[in-house]
Every structure is written in C-alpha cells, then in structure tokens.
Amino acid sequence: MTKLSVNVNKIATLRNARGGNNPNLVQMALDCERFGAEGITVHPRPDQRHVRHQDVLDLKGVLTTEFNIEGNPQSRFMELVLAVKPAQVTLVPDEVDALTSDHGWDTLQFADFLKETVAELKRNGIRTSIFVDPVEKHVEGAAKAGVDRIELYTEAYARHYHTDRVQAVGPYVRAAQLAHQLGLGLNAGHDLDLHNLRYFQQTVPHLLEVSIGHALICDALYLGLENTVQLYRRELE
C-alpha cells in the first residue's frame, strides 16, 4: 500500500493571507489524519510565507501519523528539524525565493554536502529522503550519500500525462527500479492529482509514499476535505 502524506502548506497560505488563525493549521492537519491521511508534510521556507517554524513545533506535539518536513538544509532548517526530530526529512534544493519546488538535487555536484547532511540527520534517528529528478545517475548519487529514500519529482510526469502517459511515466519506472536495486525506499510528489495518481501508482514499482498538497487542497474547495482525502486514498488502493 502506498501511503498518502498531505502537504498542508496551502492551508497555511490561506491563513496567512488574513492574519490570525483561520483556518487553524493544526486542527486541519489533525482532521486530515482523522479523514485517512497516513502522514502530514510541511515545507517551511526561509521567508515563512506559508508554514512557519512555530507551526512545525506545534504540529510535532499532536500528530499521530508520520511527520515529513521538506526543505533546503540550510542552518535554520537544520536547527528546526534536529529540534523536532520528525519521522522523515526530505532534502529539497529550493532557492530562497522559489515559488515552488522546481527541480531535484544534482547529487553528483553536491555529493559531499548531501553525504554530511544525511549523516547528521541519521545520527539523530531521522529517516532521510532526497528530492531528485528521474535521472539514473542522480539516483545512484543519492544512494552514495547514504540516504534512506528518494522522492521523485513528478512535475514532468504530470505535465505530459494527458498527451502520452506511457512515455511520461517511463523515466520514473526506470528510476524506481534502480532505486529498489540500490536498496532505497521510494517516495514521489509534485502535481500528482486525482487524474494522474492512480496510473502513476500502478505503473511505478515499489512506491511507498506520495506527498500531495496543492491539488488536494484545490479539490477540497469543491469536494470537501474529508471526501477529498478519502478519494486520494482510494486512488492509491
């Protein structure tokens, strides 16, 4: 079974637009768990324009499913995750002003940095994942860094799904097979939705977890949060 981790960044974006605490991020994360999510993902960025560091601390004390924190492992991010010690940290090579994640790590260019970062996280008992494009040399580089899992960046798959889904998913299948051969667990995320998720999950082998935020929250505006979480779960079953 592939687990669904709900990224709650967009809930925080809505809250921050008006100040105050409506919607209540912590309560909505707990509701996602209650509705069937098997994990909660956050991506605190340096400008804290959506999820804030205090949100991360507040969530850690109440979540009962797996907590996944994504981000670029700069000093403030590392201080935060080492204090919180979530189930999983996903290393993402975001620029400071990035609108959203738009590429995976070049695990060859940043080999030493990633190896040192992964080692520090693992010393603290944190499962670690590296965000990568479906490029075989970058999967191999992730394995050499000592990481537990990789998360495949699925924007290219989603973009081409409606024109040629077989060709779109091909690089992901090959990357997944290689990751499994190298002993890496496999996650995936970015632009997965109710249209393309099932085919991806059924076609890409060894998929342990997907992290979905933007599309799921957009669907919830029409379908309701409880129904939407359960619909995504159904696509993974």
Q: How far, in Å, CA of 170 to CA of 216, rounded? A: 25
Q: How far, in Å, CA of 237 to CA of 145, rounded? A: 32
Q: How far, in Å, CA of 194 to CA of 216, rounded? A: 8
CATH of the domain at 8: 3.20.20.70
**Amino acid making up residue 143:** A
Q: How far, in Å, CA of 51 to CA of 36, rounded? A: 22
What is the bridge-based pairing of β-strands 127-132 and 66-71? unpaired
Q: State which residues form the domain around 143.
A: 3-236
C-alpha distances out from residue 20 to 29, 193, 230, Å: 17, 30, 29
pLDDT of residue 204: 98
**Count of domains in the chain?**
1
pLDDT digits (tens, 9 = 90+) for 191-229: 999 999 999 999 999 999 999 999 999 999 999 999 999
pLDDT at 163 over 70: yes
Q: What rounded mean pLDDT belongs to the chain?
A: 95
pLDDT of residue 47: 86
Q: Which two tokens stand for residue 199?
A: 């085919």
Q: Model-level pTM?
A: 0.94
pLDDT digits (tens, 9 = 90+) for 10-43: 999 999 999 899 999 999 999 999 999 999 999 9
C-alpha distances out from residue 34 to 65, 66, 156, 227, Å: 10, 13, 32, 12
Contact present, 199 and 160 (Cβ < 8 Å): no
Q: Which two tokens stand for residue 26?
A: 């912590």
Burial 198-234, CB ≥16 within 10 A → b, else e: ebbbebbeebebbbbbbbbbebbeeeebeebbebbbe
Catalytic residues: 43, 70, 190
